[in-house]
Amino acid sequence: MSSSIVPAIGVGTFRLQGQTVIDSVRQALEVGYRAIDTAQIYGNEAEIGQAIAAARLPRRELFVTTKIWTEQLAGDRLIPSLKDSLRKLRLEQVDLTLIHWPSPGGAVPLAESLQALAEARAQGLTRHLGVSNFTIALLQQAIAIAGAEAIATNQVEISPYLQNRRLVEFARAQGIPLTSYMTLAYGKVLADPVLRRIAARHGATPAQVALAWALGQGHAVIPSSTRRENLQSNLAARALRLDAADLAAIDTLERNERQADPAGLAPAWD
């Protein structure tokens, strides 16, 4: 089981551009993050590369993830696109490369993309490979092609409002760790009365409660923030231990409310 490959908490960079992402990553590294999550489509790999270079941290201390965009999933495009990402990131190798979304309409066979990713790993361009936004059916296909042990993570939306229990159960049974994105449901959880009550009891914040809940399930989390105090606070969620009553209360928040469901990209969700 590859649960230890992806660090438990990293800093997300979705929607952060230009100087904003440079400052966010710089501050994240200063307060103690060592994992950074980006993607080709975010359009911020070069700025992240600049922030990483400026931090002058030993490369072995960092865990950098990027994701291959759907237009680059073909066998002859994936590796050149990853090399382009590496050039922008100023790295010789990323730690993890994910298929960002399944190929729309199955235009590029999954086997072709996974084969190219395996080749990228063989060439030393990435240490590990994985997937993102994969349903149970897509994970089953990926396992049949590459083997469960080859899939470092499936990065999917998981929050108190979208607990994705069937997928969680399936991935757990296969030994495939999940990375939760949008764990804070675009900030909606911050005003949630249930989470606020739990937070008050622990002297914590609602964001810490949501993150601790996901971490407690064994998921990695990648919250983003542009404010140093929030970056620090999110990182501190690792120390928060929720009890059975807290978990039972959070269970009741499930409402299958998805924040990321882009038309033309999203698969048939579980």
pLDDT, one tens digit per residue, over 243-269 is 999 999 999 999 999 999 999 999 999
103: Cβ contacts below 8 Å, ≥ 6 apart: 70, 73, 109, 110, 113
The answer to whether residues 139 and 124 touch, using CB atoms and an 8 Å cutoff, is no
- On the question of pLDDT at 158 being above 70, the answer is yes
pTM across the whole model: 0.97
What is the per-residue pLDDT for 2? Answer: 39
Give the number of other CB atoms < 10 A from CB of residue 18. 10
Helix, strand, coil percentages for the chain (3-state, nearest 5): 50, 15, 35
Candidate list 33, 42, 161, 181, residue with the active-site label: 42
pLDDT confidence bin for 153, thresholds 50/70/90: very high
**Is 33 a catalytic site residue?**
no
Domain boundaries, the chain: 11-186+218-225
Name the strand (E) or helix (H) holding 132.
Answer: strand 126-132
- On the question of pLDDT at 3 being above 70, the answer is no
Over residues 192-198, the mean pLDDT reads: 98
C-alpha distances out from residue 43 to 3, 13, 71, 85, Å = 29, 10, 14, 10
CATH for 11-186+218-225, among 3.40.50.2000, 3.40.50.720, 3.20.20.100, 1.10.3720.10? 3.20.20.100
Distance CA 222, CA 220 (A): 7
The sheet carrying 63-68 orders its strands as 11-12, 35-37, 63-68, 94-99, 126-132, 151-157, 178-181, 220-221
